[in-house]
Structures are given as structure tokens and as C-alpha cells.
């Protein structure tokens, strides 16, 4: 007896990542998996089929998933993949349900149990499964490298016989996982770094990584450790303080996001017009519309003398490391449900209960009916708790 696991080749444009890497194969087999993979799934990052031992490769995607107990992917799969899956099988991938209504409908119709990687709760026990964090950390690092290649100057201070140049000033706006990694990278490269966020707890985090914190006096802590949207008065107050810092920066990296909302605008056209000639903005929030009024998602644009770089899907550009971390995140999640060659879904496990999106033809993303009462009894962390019998597969 074993659990049939199928790994898809990604089909979305520019997606180079893959949900299985060789270092995870033996661990999955130890849990009881029999591994199948679509031929060429790792080709985009030069991880050719021959690099995978003990994995069966198949060309036909439908045949691959039709016998699978578990399907692994990075991006939300195409509808025909769901159509080909067995009723009651498990899908684990990023889903972002609000943007994927047709896919969710199909998951419900096929009674697929879908665990959406973006739903993994931000709690300590789930850190090893948190793909949003692992991918964001890479993006934060890459933003600094990308910005540096667009700057016509260096980041560190260098002393030469002809004189001293540098260091450059880097401002990081939005200090979640990506922003903090950007601070650490820019600091390592010798820049003078400033950080800004609306959550006051980020002040100490920024300072511990070598940045000076820009204090605006606005506290926008929201639910679940995330930020809330600012009122228009708060935005005016913040803009007044930030303008000076924006105009002194050589490189600005923006990463600000509010879950389920478009990216907040942190840099206006007027502020861009007042920036130093040759300065660069790298906008990591392009997927949500961008943090700068002049951002064009997916494009690099020159506005006056300022370059604004707004790449999409940065983790895919670092596909090798991003796949390595993503595959480990998925393995750690699977390890919660796979043991001794069977799958057991324990809905009393907070991580499984909060990560599941659909199960047995029902949406499982609901908040409890009496939220206030529930939170008083169980605390914030269990608010999506779903109760049900353990499910065994195979
Ligand atoms: N396992 C864990 O405990 C764990 C793991 C990862 C993240 N987290 C927490 O989850 C939260 C979100 O992290 P994330 O990386 O997903 O963040 P995110 O991508 O949701 O947002 C990035 C940053 O933008 C900031 N932001 C939002 N609006 C802003 C504005 N108007 N101006 C400036 N900054 C603004 C947010 O405060 C956040 O720091 C954080 O509190 C983080 O510490 C916890």
C-alpha cells in the first residue's frame, strides 16, 4: 500500500518553478509516497528528469493525475487537470481563490480536497510550511540585486586613490518578510539603509538588521499580524514625513501589501518627480497594482530621470532556490497528513484546518459564525477551525 503522488509541469507563462526537487524525493518515499512526475517538469530550471531517482515520469498529464491520491503544483492548475483527478483526491498548490472562481467551482464539483499554500497560517509551528514566506524572502533579496543593476552607482562606500565614493542610500518600504530580507541584503552590500512600515513592531526588526527606522507616528496594525488600510488623514501625515526620505534615496524597494486589497500607494507621482536624478524604485507589489503611482506592473519604465522596475513573479526568476524551498514547504505540510503509507486528515490540526480551501464538495474557508465569542474562547489563531472526521485514503 502506498500513496500515489503526482507532480505537474507548470504551464502558466514565465513560471519556472517545480513542486518537487531531488532532495525531497527520499523523504516523501519514506512517508509512503509513490512518486510520479510529468516529463520535463523541472526543465525550466535545468533540473532534468534524469536528476530524479525513484520517480516515474509520464508525458500525459491527464493519465498522470487520474490515478493520483495527491497532486502537487506551484500555480493553480488548469481546469482539465481537476477534471481528470479522482473524486476525493488531494490538490496542494497556490490557489488565490478570489481570482480563481472557475477553478474553485470545479474543485467543489469534483469533491477535491484542496490545500491552498497561501492559506498556511502565520504561526510558529507552520513556519516550515509557509511558502509565502520562503518565496518572499527570495524576492526581497533579488529586489536589491535588481535595483543595483539599474543604478549607475555602487552601494558600498569605496575609497580609491582618486577619492571616496558611496555609500548609496536605500529606503525599504513595507517590512514584512520580503522587506526585511531586502534590508539585510542592502546592508550586507554596504548601503546606508532606512526602513518604513505602518506596523510599529517592525522598528526593532529593521534596526536589528542594520537599518534606521522612519517614524511617522501612524500605527496601522490590523488583524492576524497584517496591516490595515490607512485613512486619508493618516496617508497625508505619512506622506509628509516620507517625502524627505524618498527624495534622498538612491534606491527604493517597496513591498507593502494588505491581504485581499490592492497594493497601497506609498509613492505619488509628485514624490517621484522630486527624486534624485538616476534613482531607482523596485516595486515588489506589482502583482497587486504596485506601491507607486507610476508603476506599470511587469514593466521597467523611465519616468523623467527615475527608473521604476516592477517585475511579476520574482520567485520564478530564482526558480532553482525557489523550487527547493517550495518543495520543502509542501513536504512539511504533507508530513502532517501522511504516515505509514496512508493519508489521515485530522481537522483538529490547526494548520490543516486553516490551509484547506475545499473538502468533500464544501468550501472550508469560512470564519466561525459568532466570531467574537469564538475568539474569546479559542483566541485569534483558531478562528478558521474546521471540525470533521479524519479521512483515510488508500
Ligand atoms: N510564522 C510566522 O510567525 C510568520 C511568518 C511570516 C510572516 N509573519 C507575519 O505576517 C505578517 C505579514 O508578513 P508578509 O511578509 O506576508 O507581509 P505582506 O506581504 O502582507 O505585507 C508587506 C508589508 O507591508 C506593510 N504595509 C502594509 N500597508 C502599508 C503601508 N501603507 N505603508 C507601509 N507598509 C505597509 C505590512 O505591514 C507588511 O509588513 C507580518 O506581521 C509578519 O511578521 C509571521
Neighbours of 53 (CB within 10 A): 10
pLDDT higher than threshold 90 for residue 138 = yes
- Give the helix ranges, DSSP H, for 252-370: 269-273, 314-317, 319-337, 350-355
| 205 annotated active-site | no
> In sequence order, what are the residues at sequence separation of 6 or more whose Cβ sits closer than 8 angstroms to the Cβ of residue 322?
17, 134, 135, 138, 315, 316
- Give the helix ranges, DSSP H, for the chain: 22-31, 61-66, 79-84, 101-109, 131-150, 177-188, 202-208, 232-248, 269-273, 314-317, 319-337, 350-355, 371-378
pLDDT higher than threshold 90 for residue 164 = yes
CA distances from 199 to 158, 195, 223 (A): 34, 11, 11
Residue 76 in contact with residue 8, Cβ under 8 Å? no
Give the containing element (helix H, strand E) for 112. Answer: none
3-state secondary structure of 34: strand
Output the CA 73–ligand 1 centroid distance in Å: 25
Output the CA 373–ligand 1 centroid distance in Å: 27
| 17 annotated active-site | no
Residue 163: pLDDT band (50, 70, 90) is very high
- Name the catalytic one among 38, 69, 119, 130: 130
CA distances from 209 to 187, 199, 333 (A): 7, 16, 30
| 60 annotated active-site | no
CA distances from 17 to 73, 90, 219, 266, 324 (A): 9, 20, 37, 30, 9
| 127 annotated active-site | yes
pLDDT higher than threshold 60 for residue 104 = yes
Ligand 1, atom 38, lies closest to the CA of 176
Which pLDDT value is given to residue 384? 29
Residue 388: pLDDT band (50, 70, 90) is very low
**Ligand 1 closest atom vs CA 202:** 39
Phi/psi of residue 160, nearest 5 degrees = -125, 170
Output the CA 202–ligand 1 centroid distance in Å: 9
Pocket of ligand 1 (CB under 6 A): 122-124, 127, 130, 132-133, 136, 173-179, 197-199, 225-227, 230, 255-259, 264, 266
Mutate to test the pocket of ligand 1, among 117, 172, 257 (most ligand atoms within 8 A of CB): 257
Which tops the pLDDT comparison, 384 or 174? 174
Least confident of 64-73, 293-302, 362-371: 362-371
CA distances from 222 to 183, 253, 369 (A): 23, 22, 20
> What share of the chain in percent tops pLDDT 90?
85
For 207, half-sphere exposure in the C-beta direction (CA atoms, 13 angstrom radius) is 8
Ligand 1, atom 20, lies closest to the CA of 257
- Name the catalytic one among 38, 133, 323, 330: 133
Output the CA 364–ligand 1 centroid distance in Å: 24
pLDDT higher than threshold 90 for residue 378 = no
Output the CA 176–ligand 1 centroid distance in Å: 4
Output the CA 390–ligand 1 centroid distance in Å: 33
**Ligand 1 closest atom vs CA 132:** 16
Mutate to test the pocket of ligand 1, among 176, 219, 253 (most ligand atoms within 8 A of CB): 176
Q: What is the pTM of this model?
A: 0.91
**Ligand 1 closest atom vs CA 177:** 15
Which pLDDT value is given to residue 394? 40
Residue 55 in contact with residue 35, Cβ under 8 Å? yes
User: What is the per-residue pLDDT across 37-70, written as a single tens digit (0 to 9) for each?
Assistant: 999 999 999 999 999 999 999 999 999 999 999 9
Residue 260: pLDDT band (50, 70, 90) is confident
Which pLDDT value is given to residue 215? 92
pLDDT higher than threshold 60 for residue 368 = no
Q: Tell me 199's DSSP state.
A: S
pLDDT higher than threshold 50 for residue 383 = no
Give the containing element (helix H, strand E) for 70. Answer: strand 70-72
Phi/psi of residue 217, nearest 5 degrees = 80, 10
Which pLDDT value is given to residue 359? 98
CA distances from 175 to 163, 202, 213, 253 (A): 35, 6, 10, 10
| 66 annotated active-site | no
Amino acid at each position: 500500500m502506498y500513496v500515489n503522488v503526482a507532480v505537474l509541469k507548470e504551464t502558466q507563462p514565465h513560471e519556472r518553478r517545480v513542486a518537487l526537487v531531488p532532495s525531497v524525493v527520499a523523504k516523501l518515499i519514506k512517508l509512503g509516497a509513490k512518486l510520479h512526475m510529468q516529463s520535463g517538469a523541472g526543465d525550466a530550471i535545468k533540473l532534468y528528469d534524469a536528476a530524479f531517482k525513484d520517480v516515474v515520469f509520464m508525458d500525459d498529464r491527464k493519465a498522470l493525475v487520474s490515478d493520483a491520491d495527491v497532486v502537487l503544483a506551484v500555480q493553480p492548475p488548469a481546469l482539465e487537470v481537476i477534471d481528470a483527478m479522482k473524486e476525493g483526491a488531494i490538490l496542494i498548490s497556490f490557489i488565490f481563490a478570489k481570482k480563481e472562481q472557475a477553478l474553485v467551482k470545479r474543485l467543489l464539483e469534483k469533491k477535491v480536497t484542496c490545500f491552498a499554500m497561501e492559506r498556511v497560517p502565520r504561526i510558529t509551528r507552520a513556519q516550515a510550511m509557509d511558502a509565502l514566506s520562503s518565496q518572499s524572502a527570495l524576492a526581497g533579496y533579488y529586489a536589491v540585486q535588481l535595483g543595483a543593476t539599474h543604478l549607475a552607482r555602487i552601494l558600498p562606500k569605496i575609497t580609491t586613490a582618486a577619492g571616496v565614493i558611496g555609500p548609496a542610500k536605500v529606503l525599504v518600504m513595507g517590512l514584512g518578510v520580503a522587506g526585511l530580507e531586502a534590508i539585510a541584503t542592502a546592508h550586507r552590500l554596504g548601503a546606508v539603509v532606512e526602513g518604513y512600515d505602518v506596523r510599529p513592531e517592525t522598528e526593532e526588526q529593521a534596526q536589528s538588521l542594520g537599518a534606521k527606522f522612519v517614524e511617522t507616528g501612524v500605527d496601522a496594525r490590523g488583524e492576524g499580524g497584517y496591516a490595515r488600510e490607512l485613512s486619508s488623514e493618516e496617508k497625508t501625515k505619512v506622506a509628509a514625513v516620507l517625502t524627505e526620505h524618498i527624495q534622498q534615496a538612491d534606491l527604493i524597494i517597496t513591498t507593502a501589501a494588505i491581504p485581499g486589497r490592492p497594493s497601497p500607494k506609498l509613492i505619488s507621482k509628485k514624490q517621484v518627480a522630486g527624486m534624485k536624478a538616476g534613482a531607482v524604485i523596485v516595486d515588489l507589489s506589482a502583482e497587486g497594482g504596485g506601491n507607486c503611482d507610476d508603476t506599470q506592473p511587469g514593466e521597467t519604465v523611465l519616468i523623467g530621470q527615475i527608473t521604476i522596475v516592477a517585475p511579476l513573479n520574482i520567485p520564478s526568476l530564482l526558480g532553482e532556490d525557489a523550487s527547493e524551498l517550495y518543495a520543502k514547504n509542501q513536504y512539511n505540510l504533507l508530513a502532517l497528513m501522511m504516515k505509514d503509507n496512508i493519508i489521515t486528515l485530522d481537522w483538529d490540526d490547526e494548520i490543516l484546518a486553516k490551509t484547506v480551501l475545499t473538502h468533500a464538495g464544501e468550501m472550508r474557508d469560512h470564519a466561525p459564525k459568532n466570531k467574537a465569542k469564538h475568539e474569546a474562547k479559542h483566541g485569534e489563531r483558531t478562528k478558521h477551525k474546521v471540525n470533521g472526521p479524519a479521512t483515510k485514503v488508500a
